Amino acid sequence: MKDFDIDSLVRPNILALSPYSTARDECDKTLGIFLDANESPWPSGWNRYPDPHQKVLKSRISEVKGVPAANIFVGNGSDEAIDVLMRVFCEPGRDNIVAICPSYGMYTVAAQINNVEVREVDLDEEFGLRADAMLEACDSNTKQMLVCSPNNPSGNAFSTSELLGLAARFNGLLVVDEAYTDFSDEPSLRWEACTAPNIVVLQTLSKAWGMAALRLGLCFATERVIGLMSSVKYPYNINAAAQKLALEQLERDITGEVSEIRSERVRLAGILPEFGFVRRVYRSDANFILVKVDDPDGLYAHLLEDGIIVRNRNKVRGCAGCLRITVGLKAENEKLIESLERYEKGRIC
Ligand SMILES: *Cc1c(COP(=O)(O)O)cnc(C)c1O
């Protein structure tokens, strides 16, 4: 691992920050008479402020993910983690980030909100990473590279060796968004992120864990990076209801659900190419499949008529002709296939 001073990448105002300390930071008592935070004394069940450090939740996530709690940041969705990373490392109006294209739109939105330039580097024809082109796009103000793996919307995962090779050649932070890692055979980089100074891994409880409504994003990084992110986040970023309900959900065993989605993905990927209007079914390591078809807008409208909503990616650079279809329950996927059969018949007549 290279000698790397992460603090040299951090905005000076963030390095100088003395974070807001909450009333309860000074004592960690859970029993007593709390007259410190101007809360209501009437027990509604929700009258006390939540734990700003999410200690109990983080210790459960630590067990589930096999990563020390000190290497975990919990955000109000991955969106918050992406925004906090932007605010820790990127000086508005000066710094830039490098992102792949096509990929998740939130990186660009977060950068634009923070007045940070985005340098997009196209993936190759097969949605492969062009590491040399990404490094060539960098200058001395490039603070982060954002790589989504498995990538949304293409669905493919990049190899560990490619990603580690990229991090080794980059003098900034490599952020790997593993939102779909549970559906992939490619191993997670979250353990590397705990020790490698310039690798950060994002995950989420929104997808395989089925908690999209609770808004919980995870970030794995060195203790130093986690500390910086924690000093920038809102103190009570994860509300008490989300912490409580997530703890309950994290007791579930999701392996059956994940393996059924994976087998449905394989089944769909086998059936889709049989339709005459399907030009290409891209390899997926996620819970969705990108499909290139003859008339994406027409097919999209047809599915919508049947009450089936997919994501039209036709207008996205690199995705011309493509729809992105989430793998649903077996019965839902059957309805999709029936609708596609009706569409094919209608085109032949
Ligand atoms: C769905 C998704 C997420 C999850 O975002 P949350 O804010 O945690 O719900 C993150 N990254 C990518 C690429 C996604 O597709």
> String of b and e for 308-334 (b: at least 16 CB within 10 Å)?
bebbbbbebebbebbbbbbbbeeeebe
- Any ligand 1 atom below 6 A from CB of 148: yes
- Any ligand 1 atom below 6 A from CB of 287: no
- Any ligand 1 atom below 6 A from CB of 162: no
Q: Which of 18, 27, 51, 23 is nearest to 37 (CA)?
A: 23
255: three-class secondary structure by DSSP: helix
- Any ligand 1 atom below 6 A from CB of 104: yes
Average pLDDT over residues 184-198: 97
pLDDT at residue 22 is higher than 70: yes
Q: What are phi and psi of 46, to 5 degrees?
A: -130, 15
Class of residue 232 by CB neighbours under 10 A (exposed 0-12, middle 13-18, buried 19+): middle
Enumerate residues 6+ apart whose C-beta is below 8 A from 200: 85, 173, 174, 175, 176, 193, 219, 220, 221, 225
Class of residue 257 by CB neighbours under 10 A (exposed 0-12, middle 13-18, buried 19+): middle
- State how far the Cα of 157 lies from the Cα of 172, in Å rounded to an integer: 22
> Within 10 A of 41 (CB to CB), how many other CB atoms are there?
9
Q: What percentage of the chain has pLDDT greater than the value 70? A: 97
Q: Which of 239, 189, 232, 274 is nearest to 51 (CA)?
A: 239
pLDDT at residue 40 is higher than 70: yes
Greatest CA span in the chain, whole angstroms? Answer: 77
- Any ligand 1 atom below 6 A from CB of 56: no
Beta strands (DSSP E) in the chain are: 72-75, 96-101, 117-122, 142-148, 173-177, 199-204, 217-220, 278-281, 288-293, 311-312, 322-326
Report how far ligand 1's centroid is from the alpha carbon of 204 (Å).
6
Summarised one tens digit per residue, pLDDT across range 257-270 is: 999 999 999 999 99
DSSP state, residue 50 = P
Helices 78-89 and 106-113, interaxial angle, to 10°? 40
Report how far ligand 1's centroid is from the alpha carbon of 178 (Å).
9
Kindly state the tokens that stand for 339. 């609708």
| pLDDT band with cut points at 50, 70 and 90 for residue 2 | low
Average pLDDT over residues 182-192: 98
Average pLDDT over residues 91-115: 97
pLDDT at residue 170 is higher than 90: yes
Report how far ligand 1's centroid is from the alpha carbon of 266 (Å).
22
Judge if pTM exceeds 0.85: yes
| pLDDT band with cut points at 50, 70 and 90 for residue 26 | low
Task: Look up residue 208 and give its amino acid.
Answer: A
pLDDT at residue 1 is higher than 70: no
Report how far ligand 1's centroid is from the alpha carbon of 276 (Å).
33
Q: What are phi and psi of 69, to 5 degrees?
A: -60, -30
Which pLDDT does position 48 carry in this prediction?
Answer: 96
pLDDT at residue 283 is higher than 80: yes
54 conformational bin, left if phi > 0, alpha if psi -120 to 50, beta if neither: left
Q: Which of 2, 18, 5 is nearest to 228 (CA)?
A: 18
Which pLDDT does position 310 carry in this prediction?
Answer: 98
Q: Which of 1, 32, 2, 20 is nearest to 232 (CA)?
A: 20
pLDDT at residue 328 is higher than 70: yes
Number of H helices, E strands in the chain: 12, 11
| pLDDT band with cut points at 50, 70 and 90 for residue 349 | low
- State how far the Cα of 9 lies from the Cα of 238, in Å rounded to an integer: 27
